[in-house]
Amino acid sequence: MTSPVSLPQTVSLAVAAIPEGLPIVVTVTLALGVLRMSKRKAIVKKLHSVETLGSVSVICSDKTGTLTTNQMTVTQIFTIDDGLKTVQSLTEPNMHMLKISDVILKTLEIANLCVNAYRNQDGTNVGTSTEVALLNVLTILGVEDCRPLFNRKSETPFTSEAKYSSVVGSFKTTDSRPSNAPLSPRSSRSTQSMITDPDTHYLIGAPEVVLSRCKFYLKSDSVTTSLDEDGARAKITQQAEKMAKSGLRVLAMAYGFDSNNMIFTGLQGMTDPPRKGVSAAIASLQKGGVHVVMITGDSEFTATAISRELGILTNSGISSCLTGQEIDRLTPRQLIDRVKGTSVFARVTPRHKMSIIEAFQSTGSVVAMTGDGVNDAPALRMADIGISMGKGATDVAKEAADLILVDDNFSTILPAIEEGKTIFYNIQNFLAFQLSTAVAALSLITISTILGLPAPLNAMQILFINILMDGPPSQSLGVDPVNKEVMKRKPRSKHSAVLTIRLLYRIGFSAIMIIGGTLFIYLFDLKGPEVGQRDQTVTFTSFVFLDLISAIQNRGLNVDLFPRTLKHQIQGFIQYKIPAFFSRASRKIYHPISRTTSSHHHLVNRDERLVKTHNPILLITVLVSFLSLLMIIYLPVLQKIFQTQALDQRDLVLLLALGSVSFACHEIRRYFERLIEKNENDSLLNLNF
């Protein structure tokens, strides 16, 4: 009896046992994921971030410009004497006929003086969305910009910490316009000689901040009255809360000669509609176990109203809302306990964002944070995934981020996470295929050696198997398309391993199918103590054949082997075409079937617009590998190299039967895996609700 395993076979086996193509496949898979994300308007700056995206369990998102359109429009104006006035859109033709009181004009004037937005050559107001809205409302109400008549001496810009902005200066007034009189409509603006007013402070900001500096309020007869009389202060606060609860961003205006002893004039409420598709994206993320958190500088009432409209909050009240002041009063341990049940953070600053991220990370969550300002950079770096906006973000924020949203849209995060999850599971799929092939090859040689049987494979055949393991079939598993079902899987733990218990079971199952089938063929065909070319050829063919079936069956659980359109065409042929063929003699029967068939084609065309859920590259690579196997068996030149010989019809039938059994066993395994996954997803969905 010859030696069971020769030196060339040992070397070949050692080469085949090491998945040296694994780093290449992983890198290519990640790179292709980056390319796919870029086509979906998400630019990944760091390759490792692609895989991390799949494990994100908390998304902390800014409200303005990310969850909303960042297109502010002033819709309501409130003063003590006038009450609440509703402002229509820019397209309303008769809006200039609205009666504007002196107090409303003064409220508009203060906002006008405090903004830095300007009108460009195209006649469009340019600046921050809030400032543009405050300028646009002047056009709506037929009031002109008064800043050319104002000498600005100093300015305090708005910050998220201070929550107000102010200017100090004086008007150049005519002798017909009293000092600090309310702004006039453009129809009554005088062009007489100018004189200079005394310097006055003009303040705009959050209602609670502005009211804290006010002692009086302006009445319609230009008389100032104490805020403490007739419950005026409480009335203003209640009105601000009421406007905020309807989802408006509310700003208060005041003026005076003393910055701490000012005169309140009124409130302006502006709406910022949610972005299209954001609610659906949030719902999909929540179903997948992702905790979506909204962070904003707006009041808790505005934040709660918007978050409920977006589906972030489903309960009534603001019990799931935490403000920046409350965060300052909490200890780190208390904050960790609070963030678990908190979905909205209001009146926060960039400093608070870092505390929020740290608290979530302390719970074991993988945190993604969005930001666009210079002050957001530390929070973006601290988060596991920093997400910056592409249009409105500063260069500092973009540099600190790992992911850039080209369209500034929160909905773009959903496909990015889908890609991240898909890439991770694709890595698991080709890893399962590679390891099961290596385990099968090693086990086959080991078992034959222990049993004292001749080596079932020669060195060249083992090397060909290695090419299959590290070659096209393996790499094609890394490009399985994104399937929407992947978002139903809960996020992975940041400490979870790639090789899970379930994956090891799959590797073991695939290896057993290859080993069992190959040994069966080998022992069934072995007639004597020596192994001939035909014996090795049958054994080699069965191993490769079963390995290719393993490649097909290690694709994603929800990835179809064939296009769905092909499935529908086959089903349509069976359900409609065949009955139509046998019923052509009767038009009464045929015509309804024709209409049904047309309806079926409509369904097929509609299905073609669905996301692709099959992997044509896998089918192509498996087919090419199978054709290569046939060439090795039947081409004389390759027969000499691989020491094979042509197989007869009986051998092919036996191999086909063996492959069918293996395919069926894998399908049963996939069925139970899908069943387990569905139960896990259902339990996750019930937990979320």
Task: Say how far apart CA 367 and CA 58 lie, in whole Å.
Answer: 5
Beta bridge partners, 85, equal: 77
231: left (phi over 0), alpha (psi -120 to 50) or beta: left
If you search the block for the tokens 């969550």, which residue do you land on? 365
For 559, half-sphere exposure in the C-beta direction (CA atoms, 13 angstrom radius) is 24
For 115, half-sphere exposure in the C-beta direction (CA atoms, 13 angstrom radius) is 27
DSSP 296-352: -SS-HHHHHHHHHHHTS--SSSSTTEEEHHHHHHS-HHHHHHHHTT--EEES--HHH
Phi, psi of 508 (to 5 degrees): -65, -40
The tokens for 128 are 């921050």
Nearest to 138 by CA among 157, 111, 114: 111
Let me know how long the chain is. 689
For the chain, report the end-to-end CA distance as a whole number of angstroms: 69
Q: How far is CA 204 from CA 199, 252, 267, 396, 431, in A?
A: 17, 6, 9, 28, 60
Options 62, 372, 408, 651, the catalytic residue: 62
Q: Tell me what percent of the chain is helix, strand and coil, each rounded to the nearest 5.
A: 55, 15, 30
**Angle formed by the axes of helices 300-310 and 278-287, to 10°?**
80
Identity of the amino acid at 623: L
Catalytic residue status for 62: yes
Active site amino acids: 62
